[in-house]
């Protein structure tokens, strides 16, 4: 039976009125499991209006009272954690265990945002001038919005929404139409936790909904995660309309393997970070860079052996290492890129194009592919594949290995595996990317630090979660005050110096 999904506006599930729908597939079988309404301009504007009305009262709640809502939300999510993970897995295709991780990394940011009474504290200077004090405070922006991708349907909506509402804003979420059920349920749980109706609205939709969020002057800021071309467009359009924007795009994350690295550890890291979640992670390792021919030969041989042992299965198979891709289009895209790599002359060590799961021939399954002797001129190196494809680019020495991620158009994340502290320190300081892992394959920072890439991976001055999220979702107001002491100084026509 095909489920009918809704929007979530004004604290309740709201049927779509545009007449437009998108299919939500079961990636394991390729069949339609639900239909989600796609909001037009009128529905999106109604959600914005509702959010604007709700924000006024919500901003008057003191920060500690707002934090209690977040703490209650954490309790409610915990009570149905497994059902949420299974729902996420069923729509996305990642394993249930991986879906639990998706959810937990989002909850980590909710926990951070629950510290908002401390995070919103301003600065104070006593006696900045004679009888004059100066203090600052952080004020919410108003209505803000988030446009989030399919690959983390719990984590990234929570990364966006939790700090925003903690700061006193209202939030309009436009999740991916490919796997919208978990964002809808999370919104319901926020209301059950005591969030006033309208403070968090969820509008499903496509380009028209996004354009409305960009155009409407009531929306003060937008966060986006997705492909680089759309990230660049959203950022430029938002900026042209005077809105704040933090937009994150694609990635081509490298992992450099030095000759002194623990090769077993490096192979374990590459197998998990390259093929976990079928490669549908913005922090997936998609390029391995062994330094020296001996290191490269040993690494490729071990990777080939380990790939043969991978178990690809249904997303609800507890023994599966990874499940299907999210859609038929995603599967076709991966196969096209493997074709391109072969045409370009890369050595296809393992070919995953023809993998099928018995009994699930209609599912969106791709096997793991491994290319060796990839060069930086090839498209499979320059472009994001977003699938279970790992490229090996051999570097003659450390300096060449350092140049590869530093000169790549994307600058999201990078990892270095070595036993040498001097090499690690030099690499950390010199590499031109936003996030660095040392013997850590997926360097996603903890919630109280900040997440964000450089170059074509990130657009905007402030990153996601951590202190940057509070800065992004608030304005600083600085107050200079003096209370008359009975002394009349007369008019002054020079700028005050506070001397």
Give the DSSP letter of residue 196: P
Assess contact for 24 and 36: CB atoms under 8 A: yes
Phi-psi region of 13 (alpha: psi -120 to 50; beta: other; left: phi over 0): beta
Q: DSSP assignment of 73-96, as one string?
A: HHHHHHHTHHHHHHHHHHHH---H
Structure tokens at 492: 């002054």
- Cα–Cα distance measured from residue 479 to residue 125, given in angstroms and rounded to the nearest whole number: 10
Q: Tell me how many degrees the CA angle 475-480-486 measures, rounded to the nearest 5.
A: 155
Q: Is 272 exposed, middle or buried (0-12, 13-18, 19+ CB in 10 A)?
A: middle
- Quick check: is 247 catalytic? no
d(CA 162, CA 114): 9
Strand partners, 437: 415
Residues whose CB falls within 8 Å of the CB of residue 157, separated by 6 or more in sequence, listed in order: 106, 146, 148, 173, 175, 183, 186
Structure tokens at 258: 């030095």
Q: Which residue of the set 167, 247, 282, 391 is catalytic? A: 282
For Cα atoms 220, 221, 225, give the angle at the middle one, nearest 5 degrees.
155
Q: How far apart are CA 231 and CA 211, in angstroms?
A: 13
CB 66 within 8 A of CB 170: no
Residue 221's nearest CA partner among 436, 429, 407, 51 is 51
Among the listed residues 234, 231, 160, 143, the one whose alpha carbon sits nearest the alpha carbon of residue 458: 231
How many other CB atoms are there within 10 angstroms of residue 41's CB atom? 15
Following DSSP, what letter does each residue of 321-363 receive, concatenated?
A: SB---S-HHHHHHHHHHHHHHHHHT-EEEE--TT---TT-TTS
Which stretch of DSSP H or E encloses residue 33? strand 31-37
The closest alpha carbon to 138, from 473, 480, 496, belongs to 473
Residue pair 93/364 in contact (Cβ under 8 Å)? The answer is yes
**Tokens read off for 20:** 């437009």
Residues identified as active-site = 282
């Amino acid at each position: 039976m095909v489920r009918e999904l809704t929007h979530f506006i004004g604290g309740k599930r709201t049927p779509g009125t545009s007449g437009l729908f998108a299919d939500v597939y079961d990636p394991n079988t390729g069949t339609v499991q639900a239909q989600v309404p796609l909001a037009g301009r009128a529905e999106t504007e109604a959600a914005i209006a509702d959010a604007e009305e709700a924000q006024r009262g919500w901003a008057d709640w003191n920060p500690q009272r707002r934090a209690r809502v977040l703490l209650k939300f954490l309790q409610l999510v915990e009570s149905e954690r497994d059902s949420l993970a299974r729902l996420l897995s069923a729509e996305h295709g990642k394993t249930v265990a991986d879906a639990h991780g998706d959810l937990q990394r989002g909850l980590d940011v909710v926990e951070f945002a629950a510290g908002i009474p401390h995070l919103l504290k301003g600065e104070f200077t006593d006696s900045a001038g004679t009888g004059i004090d100066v203090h600052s405070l952080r004020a919410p922006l108003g209505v803000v919005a988030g446009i989030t991708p399919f690959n983390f349907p719990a984590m990234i909506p929570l990364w966006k929404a939790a700090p925003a509402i903690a700061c006193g804003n209202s939030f309009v979420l436009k999740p991916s139409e490919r796997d919208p059920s978990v964002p809808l349920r999370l919104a319901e749980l926020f209301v059950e936790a005591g969030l006033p109706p309208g403070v968090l609205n969820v509008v499903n939709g496509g380009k028209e909904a996004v354009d409305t969020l960009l155009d409407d002057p009531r929306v003060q800021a937008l966060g986006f995660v997705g492909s680089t071309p759309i990230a660049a467009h959203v950022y430029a359009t938002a900026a042209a309309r005077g809105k704040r924007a933090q937009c994150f795009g694609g990635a081509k994350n490298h992992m450099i393997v030095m000759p002194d690295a623990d090769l077993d550890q490096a192979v374990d890291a590459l197998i998990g970070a390259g093929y976990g979640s079928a490669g549908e992670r913005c922090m997936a390792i998609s390029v391995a860079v062994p330094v020296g021919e001996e290191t490269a030969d040993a690494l490729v041989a071990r990777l080939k052996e380990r790939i043969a042992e991978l178990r690809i299965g249904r997303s609800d198979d507890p023994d599966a290492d990874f499940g299907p891709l999210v859609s038929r289009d995603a599967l076709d895209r991966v196969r096209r890129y493997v074709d391109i790599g072969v045409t370009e002359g890369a050595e296809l060590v393992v070919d995953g194009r023809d993998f099928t799961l018995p009994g699930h021939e209609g599912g969106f399954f791709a096997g793991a592919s491994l290319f060796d002797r990839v060069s930086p001129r090839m498209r499979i190196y320059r472009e994001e594949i977003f699938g279970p494809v790992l490229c090996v680019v051999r570097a003659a020495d450390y300096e060449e290995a350092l140049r590869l991620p530093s000169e790549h158009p994307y600058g999201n994340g990078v990892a270095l595996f070595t036993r040498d502290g001097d090499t690690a320190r030099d690499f950390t300081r010199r590499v031109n990317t936003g996030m660095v892992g040392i013997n850590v394959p997926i360097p996603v920072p903890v919630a109280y630090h900040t997440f964000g890439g450089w170059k074509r991976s990130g657009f905007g001055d402030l990153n996601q979660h951590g202190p940057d999220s509070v800065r992004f979702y608030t304005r600083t107001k600085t107050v200079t005050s003096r209370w008359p002491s009975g002394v009349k100084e007369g008019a002054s026509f020079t700028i005050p110096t506070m001397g």
